[in-house]
């Protein structure tokens, strides 16, 4: 079995490719993107393969005008839908002749559901069986679209003859559309894990992109390898810094400087020529770069040399798409560390329902698998009752550093406490710190008078 690229960005990571020869059904209701899907597949392989698009349609439009992104070398052979419904056998012969004359390696018939639709069930089964026999003789990848709901796929005669079935659908959110692709059937035994998996995809001016789930695996951190934060007193409290590949939660009240500590960690890594990614929700990259300049931390030069990349939302997207942007930034820079600024801002940043624990679990497992050290900031609103962050977040972290205000006479002082750091002998003292124009200063233990 030969696997060929699907022509859909991200889909090869899930399926491994389309087997050649094979017949793939791309099913779904009207408006889910079936036509764009098959045209994208044809266009993206058109320079390496001979391609043919056969639309069964009642429109007389010029398809290159309606779909301007179609590659110029994709052959187009429209067939009148009314003729197909009246005389399906003649339509089948026309399809056969068009394919034979083109010698196409990849074919799309859009849609297949009108073929033989007027026949009784048994006769239509024989008709579709004839079509199936023809596809085996073409020695091509044949994509067919079908106007079918999820329930109809399992009962449709067409489905029984397909080597693979992809179901496209969408969920409506208040302000955006969440598109899904589900692998119902595949002939590629090497990708059984794709069975019944649902992934998000998007349609944009750049085409179609599917967002595979993040991969992970077993990790064995070396506690002797440390990533310094860049604040000497804090690094001493951590017995040398954060163990490599650890995920550390910076948790505390608003205004305690969690982001400043995170940016100091990023700057320290960049100074050591280790690439970083910053994920932010509220602050734009320009704002964060300008804020860092207050402390003399020049981030722009690292952006310019591709050692630092930002992932910043400018519109609502799905969580899977956001994870893909993070993965893309990590892979393009070879990042060894990441600052994720604003767990508490996530719930309003994404389309659809948000499961913060599932998202963070997937992300942290991926980061460990890639050998990346990560810092996450989280805002705790009810800090006076407890320094411990929410349980559904804290259990994901290898370490937790808490930042709080404590009253000291007529003033409020900022304090830091390392609540946990697995496997290392860290300080367990509450200490005072200050954020000045020169950076972060932590008071000596003996001089820190805390009630």
DSSP output for 232-266: HHHHHHTTSSEETT-EEEEEE-TTS-HHHHHHHHH
On whether the CB atoms of residues 288 and 298 are closer than 8 A, the answer is: no
Most confident of 80-94, 191-205, 292-306: 292-306
Instruction: Please state, for a pLDDT cut of 70, what percent of the chain lies above it.
Output: 91
Q: Provide the 10 A C-beta neighbour count for residue 192.
A: 9
For 201-221, what is the mean pLDDT? 87
For 41-46, what is the mean pLDDT? 96
Residue 188: pLDDT band (50, 70, 90) is low
Mean pLDDT of all residues belonging to the chain = 88
Residue 242 pairs with which residues in a beta bridge?
A: 227
Nearest to 379 by CA among 281, 280, 251: 251
DSSP helix/strand/coil, 99: helix
> Phi and psi for 310 in degrees, rounded to 5?
-110, 145
The Cα–Cα gap between 18 and 374 comes to 36
Residue 227: pLDDT band (50, 70, 90) is very high
Domains and CATH numbers, the chain: 2-211 (3.40.50.300), 226-447 (3.40.50.300)
The Cα–Cα gap between 401 and 249 comes to 6
The Cα–Cα gap between 154 and 184 comes to 9
Q: Residue 80 corresponds to which tokens in the numbers above?
A: 């009148």
**Exposure of 245 by Cβ count < 10 A (0-12 exposed, 13-18 middle, 19+ buried)?**
buried
The Cα–Cα gap between 99 and 143 comes to 13
The model's pTM is 0.87
The Cα–Cα gap between 158 and 185 comes to 13
DSSP state for residue 142 in the 8-state scheme: E
DSSP state for residue 317 in the 8-state scheme: B
Select the more confidently predicted residue: 216 or 168.
Answer: 168
Select the more confidently predicted residue: 90 or 175.
Answer: 90
* Distance set, CA 306 to CA 86, 261, 375, 405 (Å): 60, 22, 20, 37
pLDDT value, residue 382: 60
DSSP helix/strand/coil, 160: helix
Q: Residue 265 corresponds to which tokens in the numbers above?
A: 């960690």
- pLDDT (tens digit per residue) in 242-251: 999 999 999 9
pLDDT at 49 over 70: yes
Helix (H) or strand (E) holding 56: strand 51-57
Residue 65: pLDDT band (50, 70, 90) is low
For the chain, how far is it from start to end, CA to CA, in angstroms?
Answer: 73
Helix (H) or strand (E) holding 126: helix 121-138
- pLDDT (tens digit per residue) in 275-316: 999 999 989 999 999 999 999 999 999 999 999 999 998 888
């Amino acid at each position: 079995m030969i696997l060929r690229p699907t022509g859909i960005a991200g889909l090869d990571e899930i399926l491994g490719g389309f087997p050649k020869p094979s017949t793939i059904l791309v099913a779904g209701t009207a408006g889910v993107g079936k036509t764009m899907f098959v045209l994208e597949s044809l266009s993206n392989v058109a320079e390496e393969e001979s391609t043919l698009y056969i639309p069964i349609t009642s429109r007389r439009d010029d398809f290159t005008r309606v779909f301007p992104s179609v590659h110029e070398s994709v052959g187009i052979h429209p067939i009148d839908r009314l003729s197909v419904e009246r005389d399906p056998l003649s339509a089948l012969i026309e399809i056969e002749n068009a394919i034979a004359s083109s010698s196409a390696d990849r074919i799309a018939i859009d849609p297949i559901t009108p073929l033989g639709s007027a026949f009784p069930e048994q006769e239509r089964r024989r008709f579709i069986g004839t079509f199936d026999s023809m596809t085996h003789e073409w020695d091509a990848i044949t994509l067919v679209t079908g106007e079918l709901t999820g329930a109809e796929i399992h009962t449709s005669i067409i489905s029984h003859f397909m080597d693979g079935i992809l179901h496209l659908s969408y969920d409506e959110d208040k302000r955006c559309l969440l598109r899904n692709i589900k692998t119902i059937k595949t002939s590629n035994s090497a990708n059984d894990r794709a069975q019944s998996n649902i992934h998000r995809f998007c349609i944009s001016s750049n085409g179609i992109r599917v967002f595979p789930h993040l991969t992970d695996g077993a990790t064995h951190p070396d506690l002797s390898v440390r990533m310094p934060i860049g604040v000497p007193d804090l690094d001493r409290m951590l017995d040398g810094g954060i163990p490599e590949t650890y995920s550390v939660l910076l948790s505390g009240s608003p205004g305690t400087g969690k982001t400043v500590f995170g940016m100091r960690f990023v700057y320290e890594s960049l100074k050591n020529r280790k690439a970083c990614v910053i994920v932010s929700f509220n602050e734009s990259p320009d704002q964060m770069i300008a804020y860092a300049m207050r402390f003399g931390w020049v981030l722009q030069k690292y952006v310019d040399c591709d050692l630092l990349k930002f992932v910043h939302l400018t519109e609502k997207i799905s969580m899977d798409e956001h994870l893909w942007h993070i993965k893309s930034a990590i892979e393009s820079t070879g990042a060894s560390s990441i600052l994720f600024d604003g767990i508490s801002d996530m719930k309003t940043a994404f389309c659809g329902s948000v499961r913060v624990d599932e998202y963070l679990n997937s992300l942290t497992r991926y980061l460990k698998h890639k050998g990346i050290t990560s810092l996450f900031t989280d805002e705790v609103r009810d800090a006076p009752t407890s320094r411990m962050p929410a349980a559904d977040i804290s259990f994901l972290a290898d370490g937790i550093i808490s930042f709080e205000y404590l009253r000291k006479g007529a003033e409020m002082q900022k304090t830091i406490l390392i609540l946990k750091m697995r496997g290392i002998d860290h300080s367990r003292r509450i200490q005072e710190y200050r954020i000045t124009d020169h950076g972060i200063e932590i008071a000596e233990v003996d001089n820190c008078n805390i009630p």
